[in-house]
C-alpha cells in the first residue's frame, strides 16, 4: 500500500509535466511553408530564444510558465506565411494548453512583454 509521501511525489511530477511540456521552459517552432505546418526547433535550454529570430521567418514560442503563445513574424515574410501561421497557431495551442493566449508580434514592433520574455 502506497504511503502519503509516494502519492505526494507522484502528484508533483504530474504537475511538473503539465506546466513544463517535454521538460523545457520554452518551446520554439518554425513555420514550414512547404509542409504548411510548424516544426519544433531543438535547442539547449541555456540558449536564449532570441537567437532564432530571423527577418525571413515566422516563429512560434510556447511559454508554459505564463500560458502564452507568441507568433513572431519577421519583416520579410509574405502575407501567405502570416495567414498560415495564424491558422496553424491554434493547432499548436490545442496540443499544449487550450487556455494559452496567442499573441502576434511583428519584427521591429516587439512589445515590452515579448522583449522581457526573450530576455
What pLDDT shows up at residue 25?
78
Neighbours of 92 (CB within 10 A): 21
β-strands 27-32, 37-41 pairing: antiparallel
What are the residues facing 28 on neighbouring strands? 41, 61
pLDDT surpassing 60 at residue 5: no
Query: Looking at residues 95-101, what average pLDDT do you find?
Result: 91
Residue 51: give its domain's CATH number: 3.40.20.10
Domain with 86, as residue range(s), is 27-118
pLDDT, greater one: 51 or 80: 80
Q: Are 32 and 43 in contact (CB under 8 A)?
A: no
What pLDDT shows up at residue 99?
93
Structural domains in the chain (count): 1
CA pair distance 52, 74, nearest whole angstrom? 11
CA pair distance 78, 51, nearest whole angstrom? 21
Is the residue at 93 inside a domain?
A: yes
Is the residue at 12 inside a domain?
A: no
Is the residue at 20 inside a domain?
A: no
The model's pTM is 0.75
Is the residue at 18 inside a domain?
A: no
What pLDDT shows up at residue 15?
35
Is the residue at 1 inside a domain?
A: no
Is the residue at 46 inside a domain?
A: yes
pLDDT, greater one: 69 or 6: 69
Is the residue at 63 inside a domain?
A: yes
Percent of the chain exceeding pLDDT 70 equals: 79
Query: Looking at residues 8-14, what average pLDDT do you find?
Result: 37
Is the residue at 60 inside a domain?
A: yes
Residue 34's Cβ-count burial label (10 Å; 0-12, 13-18, 19+) is exposed
Return the closest-CA partner of residue 27 out of 45, 6, 9, 46: 45
- Radius of gyration of the chain, Cα coordinates, nearest whole angstrom: 16
Amino acid at each position: 500500500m502506497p504511503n502519503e509521501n509516494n502519492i505526494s511525489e507522484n502528484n508533483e511530477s504530474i504537475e511538473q509535466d503539465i506546466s513544463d511540456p517535454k521538460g523545457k521552459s520554452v518551446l520554439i517552432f518554425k513555420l514550414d511553408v512547404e509542409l504548411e505546418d510548424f516544426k519544433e526547433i531543438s535547442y539547449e535550454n541555456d540558449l536564449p530564444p532570441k537567437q532564432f529570430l530571423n527577418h525571413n521567418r515566422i516563429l512560434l514560442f510556447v511559454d508554459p510558465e505564463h500560458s502564452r503563445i507568441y507568433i513572431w513574424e519577421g519583416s520579410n515574410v509574405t502575407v501567405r506565411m502570416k495567414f498560415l501561421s495564424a491558422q496553424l497557431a491554434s493547432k499548436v495551442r490545442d496540443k499544449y494548453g487550450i487556455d494559452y493566449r496567442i499573441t502576434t508580434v511583428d519584427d521591429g514592433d516587439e512589445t515590452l512583454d515579448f522583449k522581457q520574455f526573450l530576455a
